[in-house]
Structure formats: C-alpha cells, structure tokens
Structure 1
Amino acid sequence: MSGTLEVSDLHKQFAIGRPAVDGVSFAVPAGEIVVLLGPSGCGKTTTLRCVAGLEHPTGGAISIAGKVVSQPSRGIQVAPRQRDLGMVFQSYAVWPHMTVRQNVVYPLKHRGVNRTEAARRVDEVLALVGLSEYAERPVTALSGGQMQRVALARSIVYRPKLLLLDEPLSNLDAKLRLRLRDDLRRILKAAGMTALYVTHDQAEAVVLGDRIGVMRDGKLLQMGSPDEIYNRPADLFVANFTGATNELTGTLVARNGAFGTVDFGDGRRGEASLLHEVGVGDKVRLALRPENIRIGGNGANTFAARVTDRRYQGTQTVYDVELFGRRLEALELGTAARHEVGVETMVSLPREGCWAYRDEGKGGEE
C-alpha cells in the first residue's frame, strides 16, 4: 500500500556556497504524483536524494507513510534500504546478464516472497508495463525504452510506500521519450503509486504530475496543479520558466479587482491580470506566452505592431513582432503561414494572458 510523503522545512548545505535546498516544505498524499520542476542546480535532485536517504539533510524533517526517516535535530537518519521506497534513475541500471523476468523478480527474492507469489507479482507488473511477451528475453536485446520499463517494473514489483524518479526519460531519444512519458502516468496510477518525480522538462511535468513544484536556487517557489502553474504563475521566474517568455514593461495606473491598467508609455495603455500585490504607481513587468498573442486581433488590448521574422514549422508558425520597441514571439497553429515579414498589423494581447508582476529590475531568469 502506498504511503504519504511529508517534507518539512528541508535544508541541505554543502561545504560552501548557498544552500542546495533552502526551507522546502511540501506533502504528497498517498497515490499522488508530484513533480519537482526547475533548471539545473535549482535543488530538485538534492531534495529527491534527501528523501531517498542518499544525502543527509542539515535541517528539517522527512516522513514516509507517517514514519520520520530524517530529522537532524533529533539525530534521526534512517538508511535508504529501510525507507521502503523504489527508485528509477536516468540510467536504466538493469542487470545485463539477466532476463527481463530475472531482473524484475530480484527484489522479491531478497524480501522473502515465496516463489508462487513472486511469479504472480512479476507477471502482473510486466503486464502493467507492457513487457509480458519479453519476459524471457535478455535485457540486452531490448530497446532503451523497454529497458527503462524493466527498471520501472523492478522498482514497483515489491510495492514500496514511495517511488522516486530522477529524470528517468532523459536518456531516451525524443520519440521514445514522448511515448513512455504518456504511458508512465497511466502505469503509476494503475499501480496506485505515490511518486516524487524530478525533471527540467515542462511538458513532462504537465503530463505526469497531479501537482508541480517549481524550484529555483534551492527554494520551492510554487506548488500547484498543472493548470495553476501554467495559468497563475506565482512570480515572473515561474512564468518565464513555464513558457511565458515574452515581457513588456510599464507602470500600473489603475486597479479594477483582479485586473489593472498598465501604461506602456506614449499614452499606450492596456489591461493585465494582477497576480502579485502591485500598487498604483508601481513599475510592472508583464509576462505573455507566445500562443496567447493574436496577430490580426481586435478588441481590447490591441496595438499596432510589425512582423519582423517568421519561422514556419509545419503545424505551426512562430513570428517575431515588434511592439513598443520590444521583440515579442507569437505562435499560430495551422499548416499555412498567414503573415508576411515586414507587414504592419494589429496585435491583440488578451488581458487574462498578460500577467503583471512588480518589476524588480531584472528578468525572470538569470
């Protein structure tokens, strides 16, 4: 039976520099998949390694299925093998001299499961990961994606309380990665696993996670459903990192509930969603997703712009447009490129897709 994971005020300080993990707190209820998302060096893998027991935290507490497994202030540090968890790594870590079945049954042999029950569990989990017909094959005869399925099957066959996955798809080619990504959530849900998943890939996080936690510089900036993370980013970094790469600057001149009026200069004004506590007169920075900018639009928040470049990508076209002296990227779906480079056109910025944050004098990503 899967258990809960609770991480409370977790700190990890290495010998020098800023903390690798700096006051991170979150909970994963039984059966839920939580994804930690962020760039390299943000602390997500260190957090996972602390949960696994592979790193010793310098502060805070970690509980798995109600049992405290790490709490430095009380001298508690349970060994990894006693935490009842499974792990899937970037490398497949399968035993090359064994068959698929031998790889998957191995953890059961060391847990005293009798032969009949072990065979039943192996058959069950191989069916779950789609490898039943490969049971007697040597793993060296499998593709990378199939070997990662073997690693996953081996990690869940003994029904751990918690499954940890550290960028398990990153070594696969793009096509395999997409296929296994789509299957992985189904497999984890069918197995009823509680899972903590680490990735730097936003699309992966959205497909897999019940909730996503975005990290930066050792801190957890926001934890929420994929919809919350993508449509109500907590700050400019979260917005930028999850694809709202366009920015405009201005001054907030009026508020109206959840929206405000922003002056972009030269009398040009538009409405934006206020996701921060921003006051009238404050300098603001707006984040916009390329897919939310409408070329040739009309209505509120429509301004004259010029198309300066376009990149046709078959099923979509990406345009560069110059607006208020800034270059913005706009994306249009469809197999035909509709706008010519050099043309003047109107550009619409829907207020729900313009997120205003207090301008701290720097962009969202450093």
Structure 2
Amino acid sequence: MTATLEVTALSKRFAIGRPAVDGVSFAVPRGEIVVLLGPSGCGKTTTLRCVAGLEHPTGGEISISGKLVSSPARGVLVPPRARDLGMVFQSYAVWPHMTVRQNVSYPLKHRKIARNEASHRVDEVLELVGLTEYADRPVVALSGGQMQRVALARSLVYRPQLLLLDEPLSNLDAKLRLRLRDDLRVILKQTGMTALYVTHDQAEAVVLGDRIGVMRDGRLLQIGTPHAIYNRPVDLFVANFTGATNELAGTLVECNGAFGVVDFGDGRRGEAALLQPLGPGDKVRVALRPENIAIGRQDGSNAFTAKVIDRRYQGTQTVYDIELFGNRLEALELGTAARHPVGVEAPVSLSREACWAYRDTGPSSYE
C-alpha cells in the first residue's frame, strides 16, 4: 500500500550560512508524483534527504501515511530503515559481483517473505522495468540505463510506502535519459507508487510530475501542475527558470482586470498578463518565452517590428536573435526552413497571454 507524505514548515540549518531548507511545506497524496525542481544548492536534495531520514531537520514535521516520522520540537526522529521507503540515487549503487536477479532480490533477504513469493515479486518487477531477459546476466554487463532500471526494480520489489528519487537520470547520456524518463512515469503509474522526485531538469520535471515544486535558496516558491508552473509562474524567477528567458522592462500605465498596458519607452506600448498585484506607475519586467514570439506576423495588441540580428538553424527549428525596443531577445520558430534572413526588419507578434508582468525589483531574479 502506498503512502501519503506531508511536509510542514520543514527547515534544515547547517553550521554556517543561510538555511539549506527554509520553511518548506507540501503534501503528496497517495499515488501522486511530485517533482522538486530547482538549481544546484536550492535545497531540493536536502529536503528529500530529510524525508528519507538521512538528514536530521532543524524544525518542522514530516508525516508518512499519517504517522509522524520527524519532529524536532516533539523529539520524534524515526530512523530511515523504519520509514518503509525506497530510494533511487544518481549513482546506480548496484552490487557488481551479482546478477540482475540477485541484485533485485537482495532487499527481500532481510524481510520475512517466503521464497516462492520472493521469486514471484522479482519476476514481476523485472518484467515491469523491462529486464526479464537480462535476469541472469552479471549486472556489470549492462548499459547505464539498464543498471538504473536494476536500481529502480530493487527499490520497488519490497513494495515500499514511498519512493524517493534523487536525480536518477543525471548520469545517463542524453538518448538514454530521454528514453528512461518517458518509461519511468509509466512504471511509477503502473505500480501506483507515491513518489518524490528531485531534478534540475525542467523537461524531466514536466514529463514525470503530476505536480512540480520550484525551489530557490531553500524556499518553495510555487507548487502546482506542470501546466500551472509553465503558464502561470508566480514570480520572475520561476518564469525564467522554466524557460521564459526574455525580459522587457517597462512601466505599467493601465490595468484592465487580468491584463495591463505596459509602456516600454518612447510611447511604445503593449499588453501583458498581470501575474502579481500591480498598479499604474509600477516598474515591471515582462517575461516571455522564445517560442511565444511569432516572427512574420503582426496581429493582436502586441504587434511590433524587430530587427533580426542573428540566427541559428537547428534542423527542425531555427533560433533567432532579434532586437526589440533596444533589447536583444531570443525567438524560436519551428520548421525545417530558416525563413528570416539576418539584417532584415521583420514584423513580430507577442501574445498578451504569454507576456507576464512582474514587479521590477532590480536585476533579473534569475541572475
């Protein structure tokens, strides 16, 4: 039976510096996959290690299936082995002198499971991860992706309440990472496993997660569905980190419900979605994804002319650098032909729904 996970006001402070985890709260319902996403040093792995019991929190509480497993204030600290967890790490951590079957069956040796039942479970999980035909091979004869599947199977075979995964695909080459990323969600959903997954890769988070939590400097900035994270970022950092790398600075001059009119200087104005409480006169930064800049079209309220200053043809798409309002922006256009030559003035259209206005607090929050 899989578990629910509840993390409440979790904090972890090491000897010096700011807290590694600073008041993080979230819940993972039974059968859901939650991904913690953020740059190196943001606190996501420390959070996962606190859930595992490998780090001792400074404050807050952690409950698994309603049972309190960590609460410094109450003197509760259940050891890792008593939390009924499975863990998959960056390194494969397989036993090199064993076969695939021996590796997968190892966790069952210390549990009171009949031999026939243990054999059945091993066969079942090997089929699940696609390794049935490799069962009797030495594990060192496998590829990196296959070894990571062994590690996953070993973590699933004893049917833990909760599965924790710490960047398990980061040591694989790009092609294997893509293949296993897609398979991993299918495997977890087939088992109904509740999972907490840590990564710095945005595409990985979107493919795997039912919900994504974006972290920075030990804090959880936003948690929501992939659609919400990508289309309603709560602040400029979340927008930048998830791919809205273009920014335009301006002044909000008018508010019309969920949208506002932004003056970009010299009387050039456009509309943007207001994703924070803002009012006329506020300085703003408008975040915009490269794929949401349409070159060669001039429709809607945000129709302008920009100069193409560079382009990079990539086969199935072309990335353009354009100059708009004195800013260098990146635009991405799908298709196998590069349509716009360098040096030309081209019409551009920016959907107001894809222009997100945030309060300007100085240098980009992403820096």
Q: TM-score, normalised by structure 1?
A: 0.99
Whole-angstrom distance in 2 between the partners of 1:17 and 1:196: 26
Asked if 1:130 is matched to 2:130, the reply is yes
Query: 2:49 matched to which residue of 1?
Result: 49
Query: 1:313 matched to which residue of 2?
Result: 314
SS class of match (1:41): coil
Query: 2:64 matched to which residue of 1?
Result: 64
Asked if 1:88 is matched to 2:88, the reply is yes
Asked if 1:7 is matched to 2:2, the reply is no
Give CA deviations for 1:38-58 in whole Å, capped at 9, x if unaligned: 000000000000000000000
Whole-angstrom distance in 2 between the partners of 1:233 and 1:281: 22
Query: 1:199 matched to which residue of 2?
Result: 199
2:11 maps to amino acid: H
Query: 2:303 matched to which residue of 1?
Result: 302
Query: 2:364 matched to which residue of 1?
Result: 363
Query: 2:114 matched to which residue of 1?
Result: 114
Query: 2:184 matched to which residue of 1?
Result: 184
Deviation at residue 364 of structure 1 after TM alignment: 2.2
Query: 1:269 matched to which residue of 2?
Result: 269
Deviation at residue 286 of structure 1 after TM alignment: 0.3
SS class of match (2:272): strand
Whole-angstrom distance in 2 between the partners of 1:272 and 1:364: 19
1:95 maps to amino acid: W
The CA RMSD over aligned residues, in Å, is: 0.5
Deviation at residue 304 of structure 1 after TM alignment: 1.4
1:231 maps to amino acid: N
2:364 maps to amino acid: G
Query: 1:223 matched to which residue of 2?
Result: 223
Q: TM-score, normalised by structure 2?
A: 0.99
Whole-angstrom distance in 2 between the partners of 1:25 and 1:34: 13
Whole-angstrom distance in 2 between the partners of 1:160 and 1:48: 16
Whole-angstrom distance in 1 between the partners of 2:333 and 2:190: 36
2:60 maps to amino acid: G
1:160 maps to amino acid: P
Give CA deviations for 1:317-338 in whole Å, capped at 9, x if unaligned: 0000000000000000001000
Whole-angstrom distance in 1 between the partners of 2:297 and 2:18: 47
Moved over 6 A (4+): none
Whole-angstrom distance in 1 between the partners of 2:271 and 2:124: 55
Whole-angstrom distance in 2 between the partners of 1:297 and 1:7: 48
2:332 maps to amino acid: L
Count residues with an aligned counterpart: 366
SS class of match (1:110): coil
2:311 maps to amino acid: R
Counting only pairs closer than 5 Å after superposition, residues 233-272 of structure 1 correspond to structure 2 as: 233-272=233-272
Query: 1:210 matched to which residue of 2?
Result: 210
Whole-angstrom distance in 1 between the partners of 2:297 and 2:84: 56
Whole-angstrom distance in 2 between the partners of 1:204 and 1:317: 23
SS class of match (1:345): strand
1:310 maps to amino acid: R
Whole-angstrom distance in 1 between the partners of 2:246 and 2:230: 14
Deviation at residue 109 of structure 1 after TM alignment: 1.2
Whole-angstrom distance in 1 between the partners of 2:172 and 2:257: 47
Give CA deviations for 1:42-101 in whole Å, capped at 9, x if unaligned: 000000000000000000000111111100001111110110000000000000111111
Query: 2:341 matched to which residue of 1?
Result: 340
Whole-angstrom distance in 2 between the partners of 1:23 and 1:247: 30
1:5 maps to amino acid: L
Query: 1:139 matched to which residue of 2?
Result: 139
Whole-angstrom distance in 2 between the partners of 1:58 and 1:72: 6
Whole-angstrom distance in 2 between the partners of 1:143 and 1:269: 55
Percent of residue pairs bearing the same amino acid type: 81
Whole-angstrom distance in 2 between the partners of 1:250 and 1:47: 37
User: Structure 2, unaligned stretches of length 5 or more?
Assistant: none
